[in-house]
Chain A
Amino acid sequence: MNTMIKPGVVIRRNKRWLVLSLAPVAVFFLVLSGFPVLNLLGLSFFDVEWREGAAEFNYIGLENYHRLFLEETIYWAGVRNTLVFAVTVVTCQMVLGFSMALAVKRAGSVGRTILTGIFLLPIVIPPIVIGTMWRLVMGREFGLANTLLRWFGLNEVDWLGNPDIALASVMFVDIWHWTPFVFLLMLAGLESLDEEVLDAARLDVTGFWQEVRHIVLPLMLPTILITVIFRVILSFKVFDEVYLLTSGGPGTATEVVNFSIYRTFFRQDQVGYGSAMSVVTLFAIALTIILARGVLARRRNAEEAE
């Protein structure tokens, strides 16, 4: 006997199925992501002390935030440096990564294999090795870079010890380290472009630069945006390079947000204050990404409307 099922029932059943199938993932996400963030938020209103072997949670309201916004020095120096770091390294990495991807795309098969291998090398080296390697290169007295400078009769440079250039040195290492990541995504994006569309569009332009500017870049925009978001998020997480190369100094020249939080949580054991720092950082980054996405969405809608 065939039973006819009304469309409304099907929709309800589909919705129920959707809810039931997504629920485990949602719960999983809440437990693994939501709960730690809420816990962090809760802890930021407490001062945690250990007495007689037991933790004492003293509710202090907004005191940690008051301290952070009105008394803190090192964290805000870290915020400033992290912003400079993120903008500079992401810009450089995008330009270099895109250029490298274009070069590889236009190379012959042998050249493409060789170039890809060379370009990808830095990304496969573990961060601890990168830190050690670049310390050996940038060390003032015994570093390879200064040995070469002396060899050419030039003055040596204190790459990591001079507060005016220490951050630039760390940024250089980060650009070297992460440009291959951008290159890889850009190359994947370029490879996925429709050759027929490109061939047709090439009839309307003259020369390589016009082709890149008016055809390739617009077509690559979604890939570029995703890559920028990835890299901005990752550059805000910078820690290992600073930890290994300069430990945040001299002064606050290379202090970054994550290093301040690490020091507060783990070295100083200030759980409440470290939580407040983490919450402010987390919400600032989330807000930045939401705003950026909003601006991009509005621009895209405006372009589509035209």
Chain B
Amino acid sequence: MKRTAFSIATGLLALAVVMPAHAKDQPDITMAINQSPWLNSFVAMVDLYEEETGNVVNLDVNPFGGLLEKIRNSVRGSEGTYDLVNINSLWLSEIYSGGFLAPLGEVQEGYTLQDGVLSYGATTNWDAAVGSFSPDGALMGVPVNGNVQVLYYNQAIYDELGLSIPDTWDDLYANAKKIEEAKGIYGFVPRAARDSIVYNITPYIFSHDAAFFRVTGPGQAAIGLNTTEGLAALKTYLKISGEDVAPPNPGAIAQGELIQLLSTGKAAQAIAVIAAWGALENPNESRVVGQMSASLIPAGPGGTHASSAGHWVAGIPKNVSAERQRAALAFLDWFQSQALQVKYVEAGGVPVRGDLAETGLGANNSYRFLGAYSANAANAVMGLPFAAAAEASDAMALHFNRAVIGEESPEVALNAAAEVLAGILERNGFTVTRQPDL
């Protein structure tokens, strides 16, 4: 009898341990996601969600290069495989404009992002009539990783040389020059490889009050690249990528090389994604643990600051059942809360809220990047807010990269980039106002 009672008690205890805190109230959902360095922090949040709610989120993890094709295949079918798709900022306009996602306000009547969640230049909303991102457009997704660019600098070297955080591009160049002369290391590293130069040059362009193009109305665009401001921006980029402060042949430096140079202490400053913070602070990968700090990206001559949005947004495809769409939104809604985002940061994630510096995290030295992150996220822009963003980025990248390696003058590069961009916009249905050649 005693033995039976003990067995029942043990069984009940085991059941209590394995049972979630709340009863499962949603069907299982599947999310397509990328294998990026921050994945483990997201997995930790999924585990927490499953533990708290009893609902199940299955993750289909893919390499970055293969994720877009998987998303396309799923959302273009009559019945989708994925209830949630994780979309990189460069792919957002293609997926939004294709009409593959259910606006969140249709999944749940009147749904909006929670207060404090960043929209990264309104990239969570799509205005189909204009053919671009707009705060007036329908809410299409929820950010799950706020990977914007920030200015990294080696605080230990700054302290040693008595340098101040640069407010302008000239200040940044002056700091780079002093570091190069005093320490014999690279004062600055640009990420100027062809594949990533458009993303990297965006803060320079927008902080100089230029733009690749501006949407001036429904189906209307004005080129803003081959202008006096655009020329000043490119010249600033070339100056700070010059061999007197940066590595030779910067036209081949991609993100991997940039992080390598910072983490080995061979370079002291760079503009890079906030997701690089983890690698710089990892004692197994970095020689500068505890030495790096992050800051607002310098301003242009008019005092404008800008950063590039390189974030990820989770969207809910139209081609899954309404029940699964609601389950997907339940997870996204849970994910946005401030308390949860604090846990996300503690797990190594890049948050999607701008108010975390005000929490206890802000005072913790381990999360000293949060202030810079919030400030840059507030200035984040999507440089190419239209459906053919990837095509335009590739076409312009060639000319920016050629300017960096000296194959084209800044004027020729900007005129050529502006012309190919205008052609792509016109093929995509825009009426384009061009600028006269520089």
Contact = CB atoms under 8 A, between A and B. Distances in A.
Q: What DSSP secondary structure best describes chain A's contact surface?
A: loop
B72 A269 contact: yes
A268 B249 contact: no
Nearest to B248: A158
A151 B197 CA distance: 33
Interface string B246-267: 0111011110010011001010
B398 A142 contact: no
A247 interface: yes
B251 A52 contact: no
Interface string A259-277: 0000100111110000000
A252 B408 CA distance: 12
Contacts, number: 93
29 contacts: A50-B76, A50-B97, A50-B98, A50-B100, A51-B97, A51-B98, A53-B76, A53-B319, A74-B395, A140-B248, A140-B249, A141-B261, A142-B264, A158-B252, A160-B252, A161-B248, A161-B251, A163-B405, A247-B193, A247-B194, A247-B254, A249-B252, A250-B193, A250-B401, A250-B404, A251-B407, A252-B398, A266-B68, A269-B94
Given A263-B394, A267-B394, A269-B72, A53 B98 contact: yes
Contacts of B99: 50-54
A246 interface: yes
B247 A141 contact: yes
Contacts of A250: 193-194, 249, 251-252, 401, 404-405
Interface string B373-409: 0000000000000001011001100100110110100
Contacts of B388: 268
A73 interface: yes
B98 A249 contact: no
A268 B97 CA distance: 14
Contacts of A71: 423
Given A50-B100, A246-B252, A270-B391, 19 more contacts: A50-B76, A54-B99, A55-B76, A139-B257, A140-B248, A141-B247, A141-B257, A141-B261, A142-B264, A158-B252, A161-B249, A163-B249, A250-B251, A250-B252, A250-B404, A251-B402, A251-B405, A251-B407, A268-B388
A129 to B, nearest CB: 16
Contacts of A74: 394-395, 398
Contacts of B390: 267-269
Contacts of A141: 247, 257, 260-261, 264, 266
Interface string B174-208: 00000000000000000001110000000000000
B215 to A, nearest CB: 19
Contacts of A266: 68-69
Interface string A220-262: 0000000000000000000000000011111110000000000
Interface residues of B, number: 39
Interface string A45-59: 000001111110000
Interface in B225-265: 247-249, 251-254, 257, 260-261, 264
A209 B80 CA distance: 67
Interface in B339-378: none
Interface size class of A (residues with CB under 8 A): 20 to 34
B96 to A, nearest CB: 11
B318 interface: yes
Contacts of B394: 74, 263, 267-268
B274 interface: no
Interface in B60-100: 68-69, 72, 75-76, 94, 97-100
A166 interface: yes
Nearest to B429: A49
B194 A249 contact: yes
The 5 closest A-B pairs by CB, nearest first: A161-B252, A161-B249, A50-B98, A250-B251, A249-B194
A162 interface: yes
A166 B72 contact: no
Nearest to B408: A251
Contacts of B68: 266-267
A140 B247 contact: yes
Most buried by B among A50, A158, A246: A50
Interface string A265-295: 0111110000000000000000000000000
Contacts of A73: 398
A243 to B, nearest CB: 9
A162 B261 contact: no
A158 B249 contact: yes
B180 to A, nearest CB: 15
A248 B195 CA distance: 9
B195 A247 contact: yes
Contacts of A247: 193-195, 254
A248 B194 contact: yes
A85 to B, nearest CB: 18
B403 to A, nearest CB: 10
Interface in B90-114: 94, 97-100
B414 to A, nearest CB: 16
Interface in A1-60: 50-55
B104 to A, nearest CB: 16
A18 B2 CA distance: 84
A141 B263 CA distance: 13
A147 B388 CA distance: 43
Contacts of B249: 140, 158, 161-163, 250
B318 A251 contact: no
Contacts of A246: 252
Nearest to A54: B99
Most buried by B among A140, A160, A166, A250: A250
Contacts of A263: 394
Contacts of B319: 53
